[in-house]
Amino acid sequence: MLRGAGFQFAADAKSINPDIMVEILRWGEPRFSWSGAASNQYENRYQWYKQTIDAVYKEYDFKLDYVGISQNESAQNNGKNELEWLKYFTSKIKTEPNSDADYKHIKLVDADGYRDTATISKTLLQNPDLIDEIDVVSSHYGLTGSNELTQLQNKLIAEGKQPKEV
């Protein structure tokens, strides 16, 4: 938490412009958090995320705006995602005693994919229990969406819900 300069840069930037949005995104993770994930034991990973969110506020006095739940480019256009982890995180964070005050404002981002909005869009369409849990469908290095993203957005609009941020 204190070894890198990233959170200090973010704190400095927010002190100048409080409207700047800050997201954390997993590019890798410590062994203690991913070793259990292979067998759907996610508590260590969850605690790593939660303790990071809490430490940002405690150490740098700002709250994160976005949390990227999935690993960066984990799907890489191969149809993979972390469905069980998404379900675990989105349900567990709501059970925290201080959930409304500390975590409810955070927008949850899934599948920061490499030119891939199809994988997460299909996942959300096939798992309606997750649709309302994920706030943002993220993709980079591309300016186009996918048929699946269009289907997801149209479904939400037809149900009178806000479409996902992209």
The distance from CA 142 to its chain's CA centroid, rounded to whole angstroms, is 19
pLDDT tier at 107 (50, 70, 90 boundaries)?
very high
In the block, residue with structure tokens 């993979």:
80
The values of phi and psi at residue 40, to 5°, are 60, 30
Q: Element (H or E) spanning 75, and its range? A: none
Q: Is 95 inside a domain boundary? A: yes
Radius of gyration of the chain (CA): 16
Mean pLDDT of the 65-89 span: 76
Range of the domain at 72: 6-158
pLDDT tier at 140 (50, 70, 90 boundaries)?
confident
Q: Is 34 inside a domain boundary? A: yes
Residue 78, pLDDT above cutoff 50:
no
Own/partner contacts of 55-60, CB < 8 Å, gap of 24 or more, are 55/1, 56/1, 56/7, 56/24, 57/102, 59/1, 59/2, 59/7, 60/7, 60/8, 60/10, 60/11
- For 50, other C-beta atoms within 10 Å of its C-beta total 17
Q: Enter the tokens of residue 60.
A: 């740098």
Residue 77, pLDDT above cutoff 70:
no
Summary mean pLDDT of the chain: 87
Mean pLDDT of the 30-42 span: 82
Mean pLDDT of the 106-130 span: 86
Query: Between the CA atoms of 12, 13, 18 and 21, what dihedral angle is there, to the nearest 10 degrees?
Result: -120
Q: Is 96 inside a domain boundary? A: yes
pLDDT value, residue 3? 74
Q: Is 49 inside a domain boundary? A: yes
pLDDT value, residue 101? 94
Q: Is 166 inside a domain boundary? A: no
Residues 6+ apart with CB under 8 A from 166: 117, 136, 137, 138, 139, 145, 149
CATH number at residue 54: 3.20.20.70
Domain count, the chain: 1
Residue 110, pLDDT above cutoff 80:
yes
- 3-state SS assignment for residue 116: coil
Instruction: Return the higher-pLDDT residue of 89 and 78.
Output: 89
Instruction: Return the higher-pLDDT residue of 107 and 28.
Output: 107
Instruction: Return the higher-pLDDT residue of 57 and 29.
Output: 57
Q: Is 165 inside a domain boundary? A: no
Q: Is 73 inside a domain boundary? A: yes
Q: Is 93 inside a domain boundary? A: yes
